[in-house]
A = this chain, B = another copy of it.
């Protein structure tokens, strides 16, 4: 396969990846990550990552939206795959853009679809461990990604009450993996 070259196609305004032989334009666009803050008895479901990046750290059930899915379907699939959880979505909790890595994240607030079931969740192949945390128990120093902190903070703000406008990325989103402990106290 020949190396793609960077060039501005006719009628376009920015550089794209082109195949120098056949002229195929390889558009690169940001990817959509969908996930959920799953709440049960005022506790939140977190998964400890079994895969890189950030193996061993805690995250929300979330992942890349696949072709043929709505954002809602993708979020339900990720909860099933990563946490063995069947969930029902309450609404949109956060809409986060992380432009330096080409991601937009849509995070829903959710609950278990059948909360009376005996076994509500179980780790999938991408999770070492899945459990429910009280707010006070959340392992802030071992959270995988800043957006997990943003979504958890948004959950804290809305509780189980009505959802309004989705939370958005902090304007001064710092590069790198910002430790959650840098979240402003006032935000919690």
Q: Which residues of A contact B (CB under 8 A)?
A: 1-2, 14, 19, 21-22, 24, 27-32, 64-73, 91-92, 95, 97, 99-100, 102, 104, 106, 162-166, 168-169
- Chosen A-B contacts, 6 in total, with CB atoms closer than 8 Å, are A1-B2, A29-B67, A30-B69, A70-B99, A70-B169, A92-B92
- Taking a contact as CB atoms under 8 Å apart, the answer to whether A30 and B165 are in contact is no
CA distance A157 to B58 in the complex (A): 39
For the A-B complex with A28-B67, A32-B32, A104-B106 known, give 14 more contacts whose Cβ atoms are closer than 8 Å.
Answer: A29-B32, A30-B32, A69-B97, A69-B99, A70-B99, A70-B169, A71-B95, A71-B97, A71-B104, A72-B97, A72-B168, A91-B165, A92-B165, A165-B165
Main secondary structure on A side of the interface with B: loop
CA distance A67 to B163 in the complex (A): 30
Given A68-B99, A70-B97, check contact A1 B21 (CB 8 Å): yes
Q: What distance in Å separates the Cβ of A64 from its nearest Cβ neighbour in chain B?
A: 6
CA distance A32 to B29 in the complex (A): 8
Q: What residues of chain B lie closer than 8 Å to A24, measured between beta carbons?
A: 1
Given A24-B1, A71-B97, check contact A29 B166 (CB 8 Å): no
Choice from B91, B95, B165 contacting A163 with Cβ under 8 Å: B165
- Taking a contact as CB atoms under 8 Å apart, the answer to whether B29 and A65 are in contact is yes
- Taking a contact as CB atoms under 8 Å apart, the answer to whether A1 and B29 are in contact is no
Q: What residues of chain B lie closer than 8 Å to A99, measured between beta carbons?
A: 68-70, 73
